[in-house]
Structure 1
Amino acid sequence: MLKRKISLFLNISTSFAFIIVMSFFLSIGIEHFNTTRRLPILLTEVQSANMANILSLLYSRQGNWNNLASTVRDLTSTMPDNKEGHAFRVIVEDSTGKKLYNSFTELFDSRDTVLIEGKSENLTDYVTNLTIGRIVLYVDEKYLETKTTDYLLSALKEQFILTLGAILIALIPAAVLSNRLSRPLTRLSRASGEIRSGNNIQITETYKTAELAALTESFNQMSQTLKKQKELRQRLIGDLSHEINTPLNIIDLDARGIQNGLIDKDEGLESIRAEIDKLSGLIKDLDWLAETDAGEISLEIQTVDLPGIIKKETERWQFNADRLNIALIFQNELDGETIIQGDGIRIRQVISNLLENCLKYAPESEEIVIRLFRTKKQISISVTDQGPGIPAGEIDEIFERLYRLDDSRNRGTGGRGLGLSIARSIMEMHKGRLTVESPAGKGSTFILTFPMIDTGK
């Protein structure tokens, strides 16, 4: 865990440092661009304004340009780094653009010298307040490069010191942030270790950060799901053991009874065959569910007449209902023939499973109602009994494999606890739904919903 904390701290610190260093290089690049573009203006701005003022005063007093050359030479000789006239060059023009003074012609041969135009200023006759010309200063390129380098080195030094200080300061929030992030991650890691050891655990701490709160909630949900899956797995093993051992024990007792002459041979063999049929049915159902989970079951899609299927299944279960004095009532609320696309055999299996399940729990002398009706662009089938209903906390669990609401009663009816699970799987393969509504003590209603219905008359 210490290693992970150090790694998290280093990652955050490195990220902060990277951002700061990139900002450093970006600022240096911008500084270089601005310096190269504006330094000629900056270097000549003050000098040109000062010289323009002096030359304007000279003309205003004299009314002419006498002594212009000597005045300009005196001014340029006092400019910084320009004692020999190598750094700056000056041109003075009158209002018509005629050159009155050009320091280029007074200096050494400058064919190898590259000059960059700097700041220019207008010359004004203060008596008449008219523009009488302008002065332009030029900067030698080599001199400009030297000044640019000096300026950038100075700026680079300052920026480097600031960047180094920013990196050192950034270590503080990096340490705080990494500690704040690692603390809940450490708790999650420990809780994961507890779950890995087989102990169910919940994280009770709450976090203001949305991401950490969502992560904690997801972890707790995962923990609850794993706990539920563990309980279901244990119950599944126990139920399977019972479902297999019960018929095997009966077969063993009947076989011993026949062998010892304690029971009639024909009755014993009939009982053995019945238990073998139960085992065979259980194995077939489990095989079907396993193949469904593996995606190995495919539907034979064809045109299916729902009213016809419901009517046939109702007639098939009528004998069992009559034995319990239960009325099976089919209510077709749709006009004419109702056609959908699906696997007719599997849909019959779903309806059969629901009728069988309702007959187990419906009280005698009551009724089971099967309705066929439309909801928007879907067709639904509901099967309603008058049984004891399903506890609210177990409604979602009745579709689990081998789940029983009442072990003794359900086993007494001969059910295997797989019918509803198989029915839901078939509906999901049809891209439909199987849901249940069960108000406490008022029976249960199972609803099949088929999407993408194509009806005809």
Structure 2
Amino acid sequence: MSSKQKEFRKIRQFVLMNADSIQKEANRLHRKYLDVGSMQSEFIGKYHNNHIKILQEIAKHLEASDTKKSSEIFKKLGTIFAKQSVQDELTLEEAVDGNIFLKQALWKKIKEERLLKKISIEDFFVLSQNVGTYIDVLTSELAFTYHQELQYVENNLRYLSEASKILSSSLDYQTTLNAIATLAVPEISDWCSVDILDENSKLRQVAVAHKDAKKIKWAKELRKQQTIDMNAPTGIANVLRTGKSEIYPHITDSMLVAASKTKKELRLIRSIGLTSVMIVPIFSEKKPIGTISFVTTETSRHYNHGDLLMAEELGTRASVAIENSKLYKGSQDAITLRDDFISIASHELKTPVTSVKMFTQVLKKHSEQIGDAKAVNHLSRMDKQLNKLTELIYDLLNISRIQAGKMEFNKNLFDFDHAVTEIIDILSQTVTRHTFKVYGRTNKKVRGDQERIGQVVNNLISNAIKYSPKSKKIIVKLTTDRDNVYVAVRDFGIGIGKVYLDKIFERFYRVYDANNKTYPGLGIGLYISSEIIKRHGGKLWVDSKVGKGSTFHFSIPINGKKSLKL
């Protein structure tokens, strides 16, 4: 053994035996440079081990005459460390500087052990050049891969953000899943497929996208020819069984052979040129009901753990979108069932209630003729309640007509002031506890449905009476401008909280007072009123303060030109 070999052997053994202390010195120098207590402390152990690995490889290749060949080892280490750094969200400085300080610590420790005293200048040059080359190769590859991986992460986050917008944009999950697959190509995959179990537990491909638009049809045909084996130990079938994702960073030919049932199938799969695959589950009620498959073909991109995390997050969001879609469909079905019931019930009740009212009036007239005051009183009360029931049935019929788009309007020119005061006069005859004050006049004739507008005025004043039981005054104000007429109905009752102001025009919404007490009615009058005003091209709104009362306003165009089709 030559003198050079002996000295290099001493250095090699020293580095291998003292790799831990060299790394600790490097860490100290790094911390001093950064002027902080530590890097991200949870990763110190991991990167300590990485640097030990670097020192071990440096020790093994100290005397290498062909550094180009040895450098391949350090390029691979740089790639691995870069991917870890991006996953751990280290900065590039944190990822790279540790290697530079490692080199400084290595030379410091070697000098302290006086291991360079017997080495010639030529041998020191070889030693110095080799160590410097290895660290430089590793650092360059780390920096290059770091930026490349960071770009992948940014692309993934951008895709996830766009996908989330799409998932929340529609309650039709078929539409959204199609959009998700299309968005994935070519941003993060060359081929994306979404498969869902139908109500018969049969797997159905609901969306597919390919970087080559011409191959989408081919991809669908491929699925028909190659149905998924639901007993397969890996792939879509296994993800559906276990609810756990699968990732294949590198698709090898041996994998293709193992996955193929026939030689023809193997040739077909090989022709696709699979590079990397991820499959993530979609859940419904905590059970896997589908998968999203991401595939790269004939490209240099190989999926990693970061890509899988992004794909799993997308699967989670797709699961939520499907759940929301099911809930929405269920609620819509319930609403349809309710509306159908209301329509049928109101139509069926109309005839018998009309008959009962007619017989009540006949009996009342007969009782008046024979002087039976007690019977007249009872029958009068009964007739009033039948009037309320008739109004309720009429409102329910109106809701059915609105929903079906069949609410009828008779458009004529009428005296607006007269129409409003006529409703107030009629109500005045039946109300004893409240008085009405009317201010202003419009002196306008309006083109619209007088009966429907009167219905709105009647609803607003009736509500004012109902929700101001302790007040005695209702104010009605009429105003106008060049294009519109306005009505404001003010009461001094319980008022409405701000959070409820947008809800009171919804179907079946009812107002509660401060004591959580509600009032008679189904909460449909304001909904019908808002629809009537809307179809006249006008607006209906409210100003209110709890405990101070409410003012309901509506406006309609004078000439009716802005109205919807009546």
TM bucket, shorter chain = 0.3 to 0.5
Structure showing greater radius of gyration is 1
